[in-house]
Amino acid sequence: MYGMMEGQFRRYFEQAAKTKGVTGKVLLQQLERRLDNVIFRLGLAVSRAQARQVVRHNFVWVGETRVNIPSYQVSKDEMIKIKGSEKALNKLKENLEAAKDRSVPTWLEFNPQEMTARVARLPEKEDIQATIQEQLIVELYSK
């Protein structure tokens, strides 16, 4: 679902297992906070693969730094800005129009006119639209 290989997913799980808190909840937070997922959730891409490409093509700035790593973990209160050529920005605006029926999660604040977003808070399980049974994931990877 998040567009990653088994090895990378396992590393996310191992990191979540070492973190304080409920492993399944922490795992989902980590996956939701990936920069490519944030771009997808904002509606700037029609798929996570396209969101990954937007990040890899240097259109995304986090704070004052250009970030081209799709797995970058955004933190609370970080500002995300989309910069690029007029042609690229027009394509992203077309994607916004196509995704207008998809709402921006409440943990993100988005200004489509300025192409900026802010991480208002960390995502919760309720913010994830897909029905994911994280307990089954934890049971599988805990073996």
pLDDT tens, position by position, 64-81: 999 999 999 999 999 999
Superfamily of domain 6-141: RNA-binding S4 domain (3.10.290.10)
**Whether residue 16 has pLDDT greater than 80:** yes
pLDDT tens, position by position, 30-53: 999 999 999 999 999 999 999 999
pTM for this one? Answer: 0.89
* Strands of the 60-62 sheet, one edge to the other: 65-66, 60-62, 79-82, 116-119, 108-111
CA separation for the pair 58, 42 (Å, rounded): 17
DSSP for 9-61 reads: HHHHHHHHHHSSS-HHHHHHHHHHTBHHHHHHHHTSSSSHHHHHHHHHTT-EE
CA separation for the pair 80, 63 (Å, rounded): 6
| Domain locations along the chain | 6-141
Q: Please give the structure tokens belonging to residue 121.
A: 């808070």
